[in-house]
Chains A and B, each alone.
Chain A
Amino acid sequence: EAGVAQSPRYKIIEKRQSVAFWCNPISGHATLYWYQQILGQGPKLLIQFQNNGVVDDSQLPKDRFSAERLKGVDSTLKIQPAKLEDSAVYLCASSLGRLAGGIGETQYFGPGTRLLVL
């Protein structure tokens, strides 16, 4: 079974530039998550989709971050404009989505995108 795919793997940009990350979840997984992991910390949920609807985006900085999951499969996460403190690994994960909100479900992670903002 193919895992969660993410691209690019690495990205270096200057502050105030924009950047986009792409995620393709495991086939058949209805729930998709985007996490931000800053060095030395655990992942922090940015946004959670159930199919193409948003379940939770309470920690997404909406003034600069946006995400979409058109057609309920692939997803993109965008940062515009980027700040120095956005330097982090951006993880995408997916789960079956059979339980409400994905509660208790195993999440399957992609390799992450390492972003460095200069």
Chain B
Amino acid sequence: AQSVSQHNHHVILSEAASLELGCNYSYGGTVNLFWYVQYPGQHLQLLLKYFSGDPLVKGIKGFEAEFIKSKFSFNLRKPSVQWSDTAEYFCAVNAGSNYQLIWGAGTKLIIKP
């Protein structure tokens, strides 16, 4: 069965630190890749997505992610985090015979002011 792995369940960083959240998936075919974010008290919302083309995808609020097909990875990055980036981040993949969206378990990011 297809799966999505997010390596860290909790990450704590100081403001201005660089961020990289890992995401790996297990599917060898064509995929669409997403990062969603849930800020405290808010709904899940799209951060960025990869559909086709340039494997380096830029999203909102200075986030970017790189699709590396050979590594089955879609890691999320931000060069300098802010306190307002405190949230839970989910990686998700359209994959498989029915292309349903398969989600990782999420990474809780806490930014210390």
Q: Which residues of A contact B (CB under 8 A)?
A: 3-4, 33, 40-45, 48, 56, 58, 91, 93, 101, 103-104, 106-112
Contacts and interface: CB of A to CB of B under 8 A. Distances in A.
Contacts of A112: 43
Given A42-B103, A45-B101, A104 B90 contact: no
B100 interface: yes
Interface stretch (B12-20, B65-73, B78-86, B91-99): B91-99
A104 B52 CA distance: 10
Given A42-B92, A103-B94, A91 B44 contact: yes
Contacts of A106: 46, 49
Dominant SS among interface residues on chain A? loop
Contacts of B76: none
The range of chain B's interface size is 20 to 34
30 contacts: A3-B43, A4-B43, A33-B101, A40-B9, A40-B105, A41-B106, A42-B103, A42-B104, A42-B105, A42-B106, A43-B103, A44-B103, A45-B100, A48-B100, A56-B98, A56-B100, A58-B98, A91-B44, A93-B44, A101-B98, A101-B99, A103-B32, A106-B46, A106-B49, A107-B46, A108-B45, A109-B43, A109-B44, A109-B45, A111-B43
B22 to A, nearest CB: 14
A99 B7 CA distance: 31
Contacts of A48: 100
Nearest to A58: B98
A80 B4 CA distance: 30
